[in-house]
Amino acid sequence: MELVFASNNQHKVEEVQAMIGENITLKSLNDIGCLDDIPETGDTFAENAGQKSRYVYTHFNTDCFADDSGLEIDALGGEPGVNSAHYSGSRDFEDNMSLVLERLTGKTDRRARFKTVISLIKEGKEHFFEGSIEGLITQQRSGSKGFGYDPIFVPEGYDISFAEMSADEKNRISHRAKAMEKLIRFLNSD
Ligand code: IMP
Protein backbone atom coordinates (compact mmCIF):
# COMPACT_ATOMS: atom_id res chain seq x y z
CA MET A 1 0.00 0.00 0.00
CA GLU A 2 1.14 3.56 -0.76
CA LEU A 3 0.37 6.50 1.47
CA VAL A 4 1.25 10.18 1.11
CA PHE A 5 2.75 12.03 4.07
CA ALA A 6 1.86 15.68 3.39
CA SER A 7 5.33 16.94 4.28
CA ASN A 8 8.32 18.18 2.37
CA ASN A 9 10.68 17.39 5.18
CA GLN A 10 12.47 14.37 3.72
CA HIS A 11 14.07 13.63 7.10
CA LYS A 12 10.64 13.35 8.77
CA VAL A 13 9.33 11.16 5.95
CA GLU A 14 12.29 8.75 6.20
CA GLU A 15 12.00 8.60 9.99
CA VAL A 16 8.30 7.73 9.81
CA GLN A 17 8.91 5.24 6.98
CA ALA A 18 11.36 3.40 9.24
CA MET A 19 8.72 3.27 12.01
CA ILE A 20 5.90 2.14 9.70
CA GLY A 21 7.66 -0.88 8.21
CA GLU A 22 7.66 -2.31 4.72
CA ASN A 23 3.96 -2.97 4.16
CA ILE A 24 3.28 0.71 3.57
CA THR A 25 5.38 2.85 1.21
CA LEU A 26 5.35 6.54 2.12
CA LYS A 27 5.46 9.26 -0.49
CA SER A 28 6.31 12.89 0.23
CA LEU A 29 4.65 15.93 -1.37
CA ASN A 30 7.65 16.15 -3.67
CA ASP A 31 7.17 12.53 -4.74
CA ILE A 32 3.62 13.28 -5.94
CA GLY A 33 4.65 16.55 -7.62
CA CYS A 34 2.88 18.80 -5.12
CA LEU A 35 4.88 22.03 -4.88
CA ASP A 36 1.94 24.12 -3.66
CA ASP A 37 2.09 26.29 -0.58
CA ILE A 38 -0.71 24.49 1.28
CA PRO A 39 -2.74 26.91 3.46
CA GLU A 40 -2.44 26.49 7.24
CA THR A 41 -4.82 29.06 8.64
CA GLY A 42 -6.52 27.15 11.46
CA ASP A 43 -6.71 28.08 15.15
CA THR A 44 -5.83 24.56 16.31
CA PHE A 45 -3.29 21.89 15.43
CA ALA A 46 -6.15 19.60 14.35
CA GLU A 47 -7.56 22.21 11.95
CA ASN A 48 -4.16 22.78 10.37
CA ALA A 49 -3.34 19.09 10.05
CA GLY A 50 -6.82 18.54 8.56
CA GLN A 51 -6.40 21.43 6.12
CA LYS A 52 -3.20 19.87 4.80
CA SER A 53 -4.50 16.30 4.48
CA ARG A 54 -7.78 17.43 2.88
CA TYR A 55 -5.90 19.62 0.41
CA VAL A 56 -3.82 16.66 -0.77
CA TYR A 57 -6.84 14.34 -0.82
CA THR A 58 -8.88 16.83 -2.87
CA HIS A 59 -6.17 17.86 -5.34
CA PHE A 60 -4.33 14.55 -5.74
CA ASN A 61 -7.10 12.06 -4.98
CA THR A 62 -4.95 9.91 -2.74
CA ASP A 63 -4.98 8.59 0.83
CA CYS A 64 -2.69 10.74 2.95
CA PHE A 65 -1.83 12.08 6.39
CA ALA A 66 -0.47 15.37 7.68
CA ASP A 67 0.82 16.52 11.05
CA ASP A 68 0.90 19.81 12.90
CA SER A 69 2.82 20.47 16.11
CA GLY A 70 3.73 23.22 18.51
CA LEU A 71 4.35 24.39 22.04
CA GLU A 72 1.61 25.49 24.46
CA ILE A 73 2.60 27.53 27.51
CA ASP A 74 0.03 27.87 30.32
CA ALA A 75 1.17 31.28 31.60
CA LEU A 76 0.91 32.66 28.05
CA GLY A 77 -2.66 31.42 27.56
CA GLY A 78 -1.52 28.55 25.31
CA GLU A 79 0.83 30.61 23.14
CA PRO A 80 2.79 30.17 20.93
CA GLY A 81 0.46 27.28 19.92
CA VAL A 82 -0.29 27.21 16.19
CA ASN A 83 2.09 30.16 15.79
CA SER A 84 5.07 28.21 17.16
CA ALA A 85 7.03 28.23 13.89
CA HIS A 86 6.90 32.03 13.52
CA TYR A 87 6.02 33.34 17.00
CA SER A 88 8.39 36.33 16.86
CA GLY A 89 7.39 37.16 13.30
CA SER A 90 10.37 35.27 11.93
CA ARG A 91 11.06 31.55 11.63
CA ASP A 92 14.32 31.96 13.52
CA PHE A 93 14.43 29.52 16.46
CA GLU A 94 16.63 31.87 18.53
CA ASP A 95 14.26 34.84 18.08
CA ASN A 96 11.27 32.66 18.96
CA MET A 97 12.91 31.32 22.13
CA SER A 98 13.99 34.82 23.15
CA LEU A 99 10.42 36.06 22.87
CA VAL A 100 9.10 33.17 25.00
CA LEU A 101 11.72 33.78 27.72
CA GLU A 102 11.03 37.52 27.66
CA ARG A 103 7.26 37.03 28.02
CA LEU A 104 7.82 34.60 30.90
CA THR A 105 10.09 36.97 32.81
CA GLY A 106 9.01 37.03 36.46
CA LYS A 107 6.43 34.25 35.96
CA THR A 108 6.67 31.31 38.33
CA ASP A 109 4.23 29.09 36.42
CA ARG A 110 6.49 27.56 33.75
CA ARG A 111 4.19 24.66 32.75
CA ALA A 112 4.07 23.81 29.04
CA ARG A 113 3.56 20.95 26.61
CA PHE A 114 4.45 20.03 23.08
CA LYS A 115 1.54 18.67 21.05
CA THR A 116 1.20 16.91 17.73
CA VAL A 117 -2.01 16.18 15.89
CA ILE A 118 -2.07 13.92 12.83
CA SER A 119 -4.97 13.91 10.38
CA LEU A 120 -5.25 10.78 8.24
CA ILE A 121 -7.62 10.51 5.31
CA LYS A 122 -8.09 6.91 4.34
CA GLU A 123 -10.73 5.84 1.85
CA GLY A 124 -12.35 9.26 2.21
CA LYS A 125 -12.69 9.09 6.01
CA GLU A 126 -10.74 11.37 8.36
CA HIS A 127 -9.08 10.04 11.53
CA PHE A 128 -7.12 12.03 14.14
CA PHE A 129 -4.21 10.90 16.32
CA GLU A 130 -2.71 13.03 19.10
CA GLY A 131 0.46 12.98 21.13
CA SER A 132 1.70 15.35 23.84
CA ILE A 133 4.45 15.68 26.38
CA GLU A 134 4.24 17.81 29.51
CA GLY A 135 7.18 19.81 30.81
CA LEU A 136 8.56 23.12 32.07
CA ILE A 137 10.08 26.13 30.33
CA THR A 138 13.54 26.86 31.75
CA GLN A 139 14.97 30.26 32.67
CA GLN A 140 17.66 29.96 30.00
CA ARG A 141 18.73 27.79 27.08
CA SER A 142 20.70 24.61 27.58
CA GLY A 143 21.88 22.05 25.03
CA SER A 144 22.46 22.24 21.31
CA LYS A 145 20.72 19.20 19.84
CA GLY A 146 17.28 19.07 18.26
CA PHE A 147 15.51 22.15 16.91
CA GLY A 148 12.89 24.78 17.69
CA TYR A 149 12.20 25.28 21.40
CA ASP A 150 14.18 22.19 22.50
CA PRO A 151 16.83 24.17 24.48
CA ILE A 152 14.19 25.71 26.80
CA PHE A 153 11.93 22.68 27.35
CA VAL A 154 12.56 20.15 30.14
CA PRO A 155 10.15 17.18 29.92
CA GLU A 156 8.40 16.03 33.10
CA GLY A 157 10.48 13.50 35.04
CA TYR A 158 13.78 14.74 33.55
CA ASP A 159 16.34 17.34 34.59
CA ILE A 160 17.76 17.94 31.12
CA SER A 161 16.25 19.79 28.19
CA PHE A 162 15.16 18.18 24.91
CA ALA A 163 18.26 19.78 23.38
CA GLU A 164 20.50 17.86 25.80
CA MET A 165 18.97 14.48 24.91
CA SER A 166 20.09 12.15 22.15
CA ALA A 167 17.74 12.00 19.18
CA ASP A 168 16.90 8.40 20.15
CA GLU A 169 15.94 9.37 23.68
CA LYS A 170 13.80 12.31 22.53
CA ASN A 171 12.12 10.17 19.86
CA ARG A 172 11.10 7.63 22.48
CA ILE A 173 9.09 10.14 24.50
CA SER A 174 8.21 13.02 22.19
CA HIS A 175 4.75 14.31 21.26
CA ARG A 176 5.44 13.44 17.61
CA ALA A 177 6.53 9.88 18.42
CA LYS A 178 3.39 9.31 20.51
CA ALA A 179 1.07 10.54 17.76
CA MET A 180 2.97 8.55 15.11
CA GLU A 181 2.77 5.37 17.22
CA LYS A 182 -1.03 5.73 17.34
CA LEU A 183 -1.18 6.28 13.56
CA ILE A 184 1.05 3.28 12.89
CA ARG A 185 -0.95 1.02 15.22
CA PHE A 186 -4.11 2.06 13.34
CA LEU A 187 -2.57 1.50 9.90
CA ASN A 188 -1.14 -1.87 10.82
CA SER A 189 -4.37 -3.10 12.40
CA ASP A 190 -6.59 -1.99 9.54
P1 IMP B 1 5.69 21.36 12.85
O2 IMP B 1 4.20 21.47 12.74
O3 IMP B 1 6.17 19.97 13.20
O4 IMP B 1 6.39 21.93 11.63
O5 IMP B 1 6.12 22.29 14.09
C6 IMP B 1 5.84 23.68 14.12
C7 IMP B 1 6.79 24.40 15.06
O8 IMP B 1 6.59 23.95 16.41
C9 IMP B 1 8.28 24.17 14.78
O10 IMP B 1 8.76 25.08 13.83
C11 IMP B 1 8.89 24.41 16.16
O12 IMP B 1 9.05 25.79 16.39
C13 IMP B 1 7.83 23.88 17.11
N14 IMP B 1 8.10 22.46 17.42
C15 IMP B 1 7.38 21.38 17.01
N16 IMP B 1 7.92 20.24 17.47
C17 IMP B 1 9.01 20.59 18.19
C18 IMP B 1 10.00 19.84 18.89
O19 IMP B 1 10.02 18.60 18.96
N20 IMP B 1 10.96 20.57 19.49
C21 IMP B 1 11.01 21.92 19.45
N22 IMP B 1 10.14 22.66 18.79
C23 IMP B 1 9.13 22.01 18.16
Q: Whose CA is nearest to atom 8 of ligand 1?
A: 70
Q: Say which amino acid occupies 56.
A: V
Instruction: Quote the pLDDT of residue 9.
Output: 86
Is residue 90 within 8 A of residue 99, CB to CB? The reply is no
Structural domain boundaries in the chain: 2-188
Give pLDDT tens digits for 148-177: 999 999 999 999 999 999 988 998 999 999
Query: What does pTM read for this prediction?
Result: 0.95
Q: Other C-beta atoms within 10 Å of 52: how many?
A: 23
112 SS3 class: strand
Q: Please say if 68 is a catalytic residue.
A: yes
Q: What is the pLDDT of residues 39-60, one digit of tens each?
A: 999 999 999 999 999 999 999 9
pLDDT of residue 155: 98
Question: How far apart are the CA of 61 and the centre of ligand 1, in A?
Answer: 28
Q: Give the whole-angstrom CA distance, residue 90 versus residue 94.
A: 10
Which of 12, 99, 134, 149, when mutated, tests ligand 1's pocket best, judged by the most ligand atoms within 8 Å of its CB?
Answer: 149
Per-residue pLDDT tens digits for 100-131: 999 999 999 999 999 999 999 999 999 999 99
Distances (CA, A) of 66 to 12, 25, 27, 131: 11, 15, 12, 14
Residue 12: the pLDDT is 84
Q: Does domain 2-188 have CATH number 3.90.950.10?
A: yes
| 44 DSSP 8-state letter | S
Query: What's the gap in Å between 10 CA and the centre of ligand 1?
Result: 15
Sorted by sequence, the CB contacts under 8 Å of residue 119 that are 6+ apart come out as 46, 49, 50, 52, 53, 54, 65, 66, 67, 126, 127, 128
pLDDT at 23: 87
**Tens-place pLDDT, residues 63-112:** 999 999 999 999 999 999 999 999 999 999 999 999 999 999 999 999 99
- The DSSP 8-state label assigned to residue 6 in this structure reads -
Please check whether residue 96 is in contact with residue 157, taking contact to mean a CB–CB distance below 8 angstroms. no
Question: What pLDDT does residue 166 have?
Answer: 93
